[in-house]
Amino acid sequence: MDFKGTAVLITGGASGIGKATVTQLMGAGASVICADIDQTKGKALIEEARKSGFAVDYEPIDLTDSGSVRRCAAAVLARHSKIDVLVNAAGFGEFNLFVDTPPDYLEKLIHGNLIGALHLTQALLPQMIGIRRGKIVNVSSDAGRVGSTGETVYAAAKGGMIAFTKSLAREVARYNINVNCICPGPTDTPLLNTRSDKLKEAFIKAIAFRRLGKPEEIADAIVFFAGPKSNYITGQVLSVSGGLTFVG
């Protein structure tokens, strides 16, 4: 697909699924802005892109801080005349039973995996409405569709992303804005590498293809929803999980 002339903002773009999406879209000609909390990785991404003959913009963001999110959106819009595609790809979480999750961390998980994306989307949506087009791709998780022991709060936030996708899609269809959602299964990312080997082995046994997903495979689905081949699709939730879940 050709993304020339398309400006794309990707949260969590400095590593994992977000970085794989940045790589694919900049290779397809998009003007890519990476928003990430890790400034070291963000600057490294700029240098990697430069060495490959591409240019990537970077803007720091802390999705657990609504002020940071709003400042990021304002800075991006000050440098770019429009954002055609928003990919809410950032996410994080630790493996904790719900009863053992500290209250302050509970709130941090909800803010970082749901509320931050709500603030960013709300800040960028008016200019999409103004140009009467746009694509919003939310990255949730299969944990948000079917639940996951040890990830209850994370799953709650990701379930919220699914509901947000469906409701927003109804609101903004009149402006020719598509809103869709990707639900990755266990994927070989820095986040998964914080889990124990025993847990990763259990995931692999539960996956029909008997392997973890690759970030690039999740990025393939994100790029599809970001591009013109999905113009007649909105409000949809797609699991990319190697057959871990079969959801009707």
Active site residues: 154
Pairwise CA distance, residues 143 & 157, whole Å? 10
Which candidate, 188, 159, 175, 178, places its Cα nearest to that of 87?
A: 178
Q: Are 175 and 124 in contact (CB under 8 A)?
A: no
